[in-house]
Chain A
Amino acid sequence: MIHSIRPLLISLVILMLAACGSDGEQSDSSNPRLTVFAASSLTDAFEELATAFEEQQGDVEVRLNFASSSTLATQIIEGAPADVFASANVAQMMRVEETTRNQPVIFARNRLVVVTPSEGNVQSLEDLADDNIRVVLAAPNVPIREYADLAIENLAQEYGDDFAAAVFANLVSEEENVRAVLLRIDLGEADAGFVYASDITPDIEVAQIPIPDAANVMAEYPIVATSETTLALQFIDFISSAEGQAILEKWGFIPVG
């Protein structure tokens, strides 16, 4: 028994020392890391922006975390180690203002569009209020939901007072983020959903119904550095640069300035 327990104890001690030895710091001098929290609608654009930034910088590793802006804001408030936060609306950005000294800047804009399955029951915006139409929206507090609510209210100006109530009565699910809404439509589970114009990427097979400019909502995307690293500020500068803006425009966003 004594002979078998000694190697076990020694290996346990070594394991514990090894665990204590590696520190919990985000980056060491050989491979700096940048952690970016970005709204789901920014998935494709930020993946390309991250790659471009990594190439420009050399040995930087950009880690991306995509979720609804409301979820990300909550994570940051609860202490998640983000260096940069890109939100899909100002309201969710305001939630994290206590956590950083930096001021957010708007780096992109977006418009809303209604999506339907390729051969769907909804042909026009008015049809959204029809009976037996299944409408999918994002959950409350998710930016796309706030924008969509506003757009639906705006459309009621044209389609009558009952329009908004009828559309909300057709709501069948409140999804976690905009990409989940898009998935429902892509899979043909629902008849219509509100997403960003930029979400219609080439690989998605859905039909779109444009929302007239008068009723449409201009989504504003703020970005802020949530840590005091120069890398974070450099990333934001990159986003705002001509190259960064071009990438955003390529993915369907409206560039600023």
Chain B
Amino acid sequence: MNTLYRIGHWLVIAGAVAALALLAAPILALVWRALQENALTRIPNEAVQTALQLSLTTTFISLLVIFVIGTPLAYILARRRFYGRRWFNILVELPIVLPPSVAGLALLFTFGNEGLLRDFSGQVVFTSAAVVITQVFVALPFYVRAVQTGFSNIHPEIEQAAMVDGASQWGTFLYVTLPLSSRSIVTGGLLSWARALGEFGATILFAGNLEGETRTMPLLIFIIRERDINAAIWTSLILIALAILAVGLTRFLADDRAAQS
């Protein structure tokens, strides 16, 4: 009977090791290939720099938009009880699981030449604006989810106490709610930024692929990998580094919070 326990124990460890190996192997393989090809000693194609600038600019703008429209949404979803709230929650979560190609097609039918909102948006396809729209669409849920949780973790009594002491509703939000939820806002920002940075499928379908205008780093890898593997490797390493940065900071904030409470 004891052996069965042991087998079970080792199976659990084996499963975990397999999972970790599957996660680590591709990244290690990329670094390994980079070292083999001596990629880091060669200055990459100028296209990499252009793509990096475009990625950083568009994701920065997307993050601003997400802050502005995502925070009110998160607040209402956290605080207000209203009819159909569940469906709005579902809508907010949808882009997370929606296949990027579906998202791209849907955006094309919304803002494209014969799009539903074409008269409202003007010509956005093939412009950086389309890149931002796509990034906001796919990344907004990550922010709203994190911040919504943060808001709902603040006991309403705290806000009520502030108002009893004379704070206005806006003042309460600014000086009580926001500071208390700052960790979740930063986490949400990091996660949504990382998601926006990695966005590919919807962008290439909707916004197009042109250097300096719509060719973000993930698109560059896709289009240049056959011509210039060095550039593809460089771009991949940059993206991995940024991803580790984003996820690392989120993990640090989470652990820090756990340590405090």
Contacts and interface: CB of A to CB of B under 8 A. Distances in A.
Interface string B101-122: 0000000100011100000000
Given A9-B11, A189-B126, A74 B210 contact: no
B223 A74 contact: no
A71 B108 contact: no
B24 interface: no
Interface string B190-225: 000000000000001000111001100000001101
A187 B113 contact: yes
Interface of A: 2, 5-6, 8-9, 12, 70-71, 73-74, 134, 136, 139-141, 171-176, 184, 187-190
A9 B125 contact: no
Given A12-B11, A74-B225, A189-B112, A5 B214 contact: no
B226 A70 contact: yes
Contacts, number: 59
B114 A139 contact: no
A188 B8 contact: no
User: Most B CB atoms within 10 A — which of A9, A173, A176, A184?
Assistant: A173
A113 B5 CA distance: 70
A187 B104 CA distance: 13
A5 B210 contact: no
A139 B208 CA distance: 11
B114 A173 contact: no
Contacts of A8: 8
B183 to A, nearest CB: 39
A173 B11 CA distance: 51
Given A172-B126, A188-B114, A189-B108, A139 B209 contact: yes
A74 B114 contact: no
Interface of B: 1, 4-5, 7-8, 11, 108, 112-114, 125-126, 204, 208-210, 213-214, 222-223, 225-227
Contacts of A172: 126, 208, 210, 213
B126 A134 contact: yes
A5 B126 contact: no
A174 B225 contact: no
Nearest to A2: B1
B108 A174 contact: no
- The SS class assigned to the A binding surface is mixed
8 nearest A-B pairs in the assembled complex, by CB-CB distance? A173-B208, A172-B126, A188-B113, A139-B223, A70-B226, A174-B209, A5-B8, A189-B125
A65 B11 CA distance: 38
A190 B114 CA distance: 12
A174 B8 contact: no
Contacts of A73: 226
Q: Which of B5, B113, B208, B214 has the most CB of A within 10 A?
A: B208
Contacts of A5: 4-5, 8
Nearest to B127: A172
Contact of B223 (A6, A9, A174, A187): A174
Nearest to B11: A12
B210 A171 contact: yes
Contacts of B7: 9
Contacts of A189: 108, 112-113, 125-126
8 contacts: A5-B4, A71-B226, A73-B226, A140-B227, A173-B208, A174-B210, A188-B113, A189-B126
Given A139-B209, A141-B227, A6 B108 contact: no
A172 B207 CA distance: 10
B113 to A, nearest CB: 4
Contact of A74 (B113, B126, B204, B226): B226
A49 B86 CA distance: 51
A141 B226 contact: yes
Contacts of B209: 139, 173-176
B210 A187 contact: no
A233 B159 CA distance: 77
Given A173-B208, A190-B126, 16 more contacts: A5-B5, A6-B4, A74-B225, A134-B126, A139-B223, A141-B226, A172-B208, A172-B210, A173-B126, A174-B209, A176-B209, A176-B222, A187-B108, A188-B113, A188-B114, A189-B126
A153 B29 CA distance: 42
Contacts of B114: 187-188
A173 B210 contact: yes
Contacts of B8: 5, 8-9
A18 to B, nearest CB: 16
